Structure 1
Amino acid sequence: MRYGSRLIVQLDLLEYNYREIKKHFPDQQVLFMVKADAYGHGLVPISRFAHLELGIKEFGTASLGEALKLREELPKEAFDIYVFSDIQVDLELHRDVYLNRRIIPVLTNFNDLEIILNSSDFKYFPLCLKFNTGMNRLGFFYDKVQEVIDLLKKKGRHEIEHLMTHYSSSSLSMSGNKRNTEQAQRFQEIKEMITQQGITIKKTSIANSGSIEQNSGHSETHIRPGLIMYGPSSLLPKMREDSLVQTKVISQLESYVIDVFPITKGTPIGYGATPCPDNGQIVIMALGYGDGFSTNYQNVQFEINGVMGKIVGRVNMDMSQVLVPSDLKIKRGDPIIVWNHERDSLARFCEQTNTIPYEVLCRITPRVPRIYQLK
């Protein structure tokens, strides 16, 4: 466990982001995506605050293990948990968990659907079905809608608890991108086919973070914010100025100076003896790939004490080398902020590393403690 390096998580900013989203979606309920340890921010603390302070009553995970952990850590709280991908309803032990722990698997194929429908134990269990309208990942295929309807009616099921699909390209224009408009149209057609044949749909959702940022998803009962709740935009850089939901990054990655010394251009640095690109000072920072600070971060620049520092040489397991100007006043123990709560700070970091905020946040390992604050 680190002591000087930490991820500060501002819970008041999570509330700010939620309120900002609800300003645009006052009539929709929120199914909050907390998979992958709440995108690296801590599954249980984030979910606890979201439920108790924000009133969110539905959460999305990727695996049954995540869902079960959430249920076990908050056993007295009344909220629903959906498992979106790693459901394994073919295992009897897992089916028992779904039945007894108020956890709902998102069904995406006929094999899993038939297992649930053929079990008398699941006769009154809520059905959550996901259709593939163009993502081509998980979901019942668009041309199989009638088969799904026939199977439900054959088994005496006349209600779907939650019907959903997932956009593949919501980082692009919701109105101008053909794939997005086709998926939206297909989902409306699926809903009409189902309801016209006597099956009730209680809840529907299609809007993920990118579509929420573009104020799309008002035709459904629910929205499913993921990244946007944690602050970063999921839109491509050229689209971000069109984001209607102006959130703040709830996390701030902090470290400190282990050591600092002068260096001249050409001096070899660290593993591989990378030549130093310029004269200056080398700051040894207490973050390495053992903390999720990837070797891909070499040459990334970020602000240290008001000037730009640059990661030089290979990122080590436990530390990194940052080149700063010779005249910068800096000493051992000084704090370092890799990114702060402003969207642009993390966005610049991601653009330089040619990666996405999802990956940067999820990479941060448990060795970096999450410190929760509420202002």
Structure 2
Amino acid sequence: MRHSTYLEVNLGHIGSNFEKIQELAPRAEIVPMVKSNAYGNGMVPIAQFLVRDCGVKKLGCGTLAEALHITEECPDMKADLIVYSDTELHDSDLRQAYLNLNITPVLAQPRDLELVLKDPTFKRMPLIVKLNTGMNRLGFTWEELEPFVPRLKERGIEHLMTHFARSSDVLKPGDKTHRQMDEFNKVRTALLEAGVEIRGTSVSNSGAIEQKFGVEETFVRPGLMLYGPPSVTDPISWNGAQCSRLVTKVLSSFHVKKGTPVGYGVNVTPKDGYMVVVPIGYGDGMFTYFSGTKLNVNGCDGYIFGRISMDVAYIFFDPEVSSKIKVDDRIEIWNHDNRVITDIATQNKTIAYQLMCGISSRIPRIYKVK
């Protein structure tokens, strides 16, 4: 664990982002994604905040284990938990959770739907059915779903959904996202014409919501945007506040001459400079490929130097910076401006999702409301 290196999570920013999402989708019910430890920000406190302060009635999990963790930590929480991928339906012991708790699986494979329709103990469980409209990850094609239509007429579908593969691109008529939407509508129409009742629908993930695409459905499912960063980054249109602030400190600092070796490997300074050692490394989520990443500290431009080790990293500055950055000064790797984490991700040819989810359990989460 750490003390002076921490992730400060502002719940108030999440609340503000939630309100902005509702403005983009005024008629839809918001189903926030809290999977992967709420994108690295802390699943339980964020789930509690969303239900208590934002009035959320449904939360999205990636795995059954995540949903069980929430129910164990929050036994009085009045919200339905939806498991979107790793449902564990075919484990006879684990699937009892769907019968005894407020947890519902997304049915995305023929064997899952067959199990639920055949097992009489599941006869009252609402059916959430996912369509594969072109992402080709999980979900039913129409050819796979059509044989189930006679039995679906008896039960109805509580929630019909799909997932867009390229909604983080700027949308254009006829593109992949529009074709997926057309396929979704085609299957929806076929089900309705066959007499299957569909009580709710959803298609929009963060990128689609940012572009107001598919927001007229019953639900929207924001993930990344709820926590601040945009999904569509060229250009950025989402003005959400980055909920977290990754803070560390100056552990040590010293002047270096050109050619000075620093750290593991053969990494020598390219010129005279000022080196700052910070107590955050790949054991904390500061990935090794961050080497070379440009940062601004106390108004001074520097970059991560050499090999990042498990426990520390180095930031290289021009020599004159030494009067502005001292030992024990606080350093923000990213702050509440969503452009900062997006820029770091872009520099490293990755995405903000990975940066946030990568913060390890060694980094304490500190929660603030304002």
TM-score range (shorter-chain normalised) is over 0.9
User: RMSD of the TM alignment (CA)?
Assistant: 1.2
Does residue 120 in structure 1 map to residue 120 in structure 2?
yes
Does residue 147 in structure 1 map to residue 147 in structure 2?
yes
Does residue 164 in structure 1 map to residue 161 in structure 2?
yes
Q: Please say if residues 28 and 216 of structure 2, whose CA atoms lie closer than 8 Å, have aligned partners that are also in contact.
A: no
Q: 1:275 maps to which residue? A: 268
Q: Distance in 2 between matches of 1:196 and 1:234?
A: 36
Q: Please say if residues 34 and 59 of structure 2, whose CA atoms lie closer than 8 Å, have aligned partners that are also in contact.
A: yes
Unaligned runs of 5+ in 2: none
Q: 2:294 maps to which residue? A: 301
Q: Please say if residues 310 and 322 of structure 1, whose CA atoms lie closer than 8 Å, have aligned partners that are also in contact.
A: yes
2:328 corresponds, among 305, 329, 333, to 333
Q: Distance in 2 between matches of 1:164 and 1:303?
A: 42
Which stretch of the first structure deviates more once superposed, 163-172 or 193-202?
193-202
The one-letter code of the counterpart of 2:338 is R
Q: Please say if residues 110 and 144 of structure 2, whose CA atoms lie closer than 8 Å, have aligned partners that are also in contact.
A: no
Task: Report the Cα offset of residue 139 of structure 1.
Answer: 0.2
Unaligned runs of 5+ in 1: none
Q: Distance in 2 between matches of 1:173 and 1:294?
A: 29
Does residue 355 in structure 1 map to residue 350 in structure 2?
yes
Q: Secondary structure at the match of 2:283?
A: helix
Q: Please say if residues 263 and 280 of structure 1, whose CA atoms lie closer than 8 Å, have aligned partners that are also in contact.
A: yes
Q: Please say if residues 171 and 239 of structure 1, whose CA atoms lie closer than 8 Å, have aligned partners that are also in contact.
A: no
TM-score, with structure 2 as normaliser: 0.97
Does residue 213 in structure 1 map to residue 210 in structure 2?
yes
What are the equivalent positions in structure 2 for 1:199-348 lying under 5 Å apart? Answer: 199-235=196-232, 237-240=233-236, 243=237, 245-328=238-321, 329=323, 330-348=325-343
The one-letter code of the counterpart of 2:340 is S
Q: Distance in 2 between matches of 1:129 and 1:277?
A: 57
Task: Report the Cα offset of residue 151 of structure 1.
Answer: 4.2
1:158-210 superposed Cα distances (whole Å, 9 cap, x missing partner): x1111100000001133335211111111111111112222211111000000
Q: 2:188 maps to which residue? A: 191
Task: Report the Cα offset of residue 150 of structure 1.
Answer: 3.2
Q: 1:136 maps to which residue? A: 136
Q: Distance in 2 between matches of 1:177 and 1:104?
A: 34
Q: Secondary structure at the match of 1:345?
A: helix
- 1:111 and 1:145, CA in 2 relative to 1: closer, same or farther beyond 3 A? closer
- Count of equivalent residues: 368
- 1:148 and 1:172, CA in 2 relative to 1: closer, same or farther beyond 3 A? farther
Does residue 65 in structure 1 map to residue 35 in structure 2?
no
Q: Secondary structure at the match of 2:198?
A: strand
Identity of paired residues, percent? 39
Q: 2:10 maps to which residue? A: 10
2:364 corresponds, among 342, 352, 369, to 369
Q: Please say if residues 250 and 278 of structure 2, whose CA atoms lie closer than 8 Å, have aligned partners that are also in contact.
A: yes
Q: Secondary structure at the match of 1:140?
A: coil
TM-score, with structure 1 as normaliser: 0.96
The one-letter code of the counterpart of 1:98 is Y
Higher share in strand = 1
